[in-house]
Structure 1
Amino acid sequence: MLPYKLTSTIVLLALTACTPHYPLGIPEEQWQAMSTAQRLQAQEKQAELKRAEAERQAAEARARVAEAERQRAELETRRQEARYGERVQCILSNAEAYLGGKWRTIEPVALDLVQGMEISFNLTEPSSRTVSYRTPAYAYFDGQSVGLCRDDDDDRRNPSTCARVLGTFADYRRGFEQRIETSRFLRGRMRCDLVPAQDVPRRHDYR
C-alpha cells in the first residue's frame, strides 16, 4: 500500500496534467469569457514570446561556443609560447572516481597544462559498460604542483575535493609519478613531465 503523502502527490500530478493550460497563463474562467479575436491575440503573443525565448537561448548557446573557442585558442597560444618549466603533460592511470555514490574505475586521462591556466576535463567510466558515468573536473599547474579538483571554485588546499601532485623543477624535468587519493573524489596514479621548449632539449636523469 502506498503511503498517504505519496498517493496525494500522484493524485495532484494527475490533476495538474489534466488541467487545461491557456496562452499567457490566462485562467480558464477568463479564457472562456474572451472573444475569438482576443484568444487569437493571446495565442499570437504566446507564440511571439516562445520565439523570443528560443532566439535568446540560441544566442546564449552561440556565445558559449564562441567563448569556448576563444579559451581553446588562448590555451593553445599559451602552450606554444610557454617557456621551459611552464608547461607539463600528465597521465592519470589506474584510477577510480567517486561517481554515483561509489568508487568506479575510470578511463586514463591525458592532461596538457600551462602554468597559471585552469582547464576542464572529464572523468569517464569505460564505454563498454551498460551505464557509463561521467563527470567534469578541473586541473591546474602552478609551477610546483598539479591539482585535480571536483569544481573550478574548489579550495585547492582541501584534500577532500582536490588531489595534488607535488614536485620540484628537477622532478618535473626528469618525469616522476605519484599516487593521488582523496576521500570522496579521485584516486589513482599520476605521471608528469615537463614539455621541452623548442630550443631546450629534453634531459633525462637515469639515476
Structure 2
Amino acid sequence: MKRVFLFCSATILVLLSGCATRYPMGLDEKTWQTLPPAERVRLREKQAEIDAKLQAQEERHRHEERMRQLQIEKEREARITTLYKRAGYGNIVRVNIEGGCYREYKKCERYRPVSVILALGETKRVPLVMRYGQKTLWIRYDKQGVTIDDDSNLNDFDAAVLLPRRWERGSGYRISLKEPYRKGGTTLTNAEVFVRFFPIRNDCPPYRHR
C-alpha cells in the first residue's frame, strides 16, 4: 500500500509540474515577478520570435523528410518498372493465396484470398483482409523461389520458402507460418498457395495439384 501511495504521489507531482506556468527565456517565477512591465513585454516578444524560428525549422525538417521519402519511393517504383520492362518469361510470377485461416491467440479467422504479381527481385507488402481487421504478409520472388512471411524479415527461419516446381504450368503448395513466440503455434495456417509464371503461355496447360 505504501508503494502505491508513493507512486501516486510521484505521478501527481509530475502532472503538476507539467502544468506549471512557463515564463519567457527560461526565467523562473521569482525572477519574472521582479521585472518591470516593459521588460516583460520585450522578453515575451523575443521568446515568440525564437519559438517561431524553431517552428519554422521543424516544418522545414518535416518537409525535407517528406521529400526524401517521396524520392525513395520514386526510385523504388523506377527500379520495379525497369524490372518488369526487362523481365523475360520466367522472371514474373503470379502468387495466389487462399484457404486455411489466420490464427491469433485462440481464434483462427478466415481471410479474403489474395493474388499478387511479382518480378524477379521484387518484394511486396500484401494486406490480408479479415472480417474485423487485417494483417500483413510479405512476399518476395528471387532466384531461390518465392518466400512468404508475416513480417518484413524474410530471411528468418519462420518464413515459408517455395522452391520452383513446374511454374510454367503452375504448382500448388500448402503452408503454415510459425509463431516464433509460442511453441507449436502458427499465424497463417494451412493456406493453399499457387504459383505460376506470368504471363501464361498457351503451350503450357495448367498443372492440376493433387
TM-score by length of 2: 0.73
CA shift for structure 1 position 85: 1.1
Partner residue of 1:167?
Answer: 164
> Aligned-pair RMSD on alpha carbons?
3.3
**Alignment-mate amino acid for residue 98 of structure 2:** S
| 141-150 vs 79-88, greater mean Cα deviation | 141-150
Q: Offset of 1:74 from its aligned partner? A: 2.2
Greater than 6 Å deviation, 4+ residue runs: none
Structure 1: how far apart are the matches of 2:169 and 2:149?
Answer: 25
Q: Residue 99 and residue 82 in structure 1: after superposition, are their counterparts in 2 closer, same or farther (change >3 A)?
A: farther
User: Structure 1: which amino acid aligns with 2:129?
Assistant: T
Q: Give distance in 1, aligned partners of 2:91 and 2:149.
A: 20
**Conservation of the 8 A alpha-carbon contact between 1:120 and 1:138:** yes
Alignment match, 2:193 = 190
Structure 1 residue runs without a partner (length 5+): none
- The answer on whether the counterparts of 1:119 and 1:139 sit within 8 Å (CA) in structure 2 is yes
Residue 15 of structure 2 corresponds to which residue in structure 1?
14
Q: Quote the offset at 1:88 in angstroms.
A: 0.4
- Is 1:47 aligned to 2:52, yes or no? yes
1-side partners of 2:141 and 2:83: how far apart? 13
Q: How far apart in 2 are the matches of 1:4 and 1:98?
A: 42
- Secondary structure, in 3 states, of the residue corresponding to 2:168? helix
- How far is 1:146 from its partner? 0.8
Q: CA deviation at 1:69?
A: 2.8
Gaps of 5+ in 2: 180-186
Q: Is the 8 A contact 2:145 2:161 kept in 1?
A: yes
Identity in percent: 21
Whether 2:84 is the aligned partner of 1:83: answer no
How far is 1:49 from its partner? 0.8
2: CA distance, partners of 1:65 / 1:31:
48
Normalised by the length of structure 1, the TM-score is 0.74
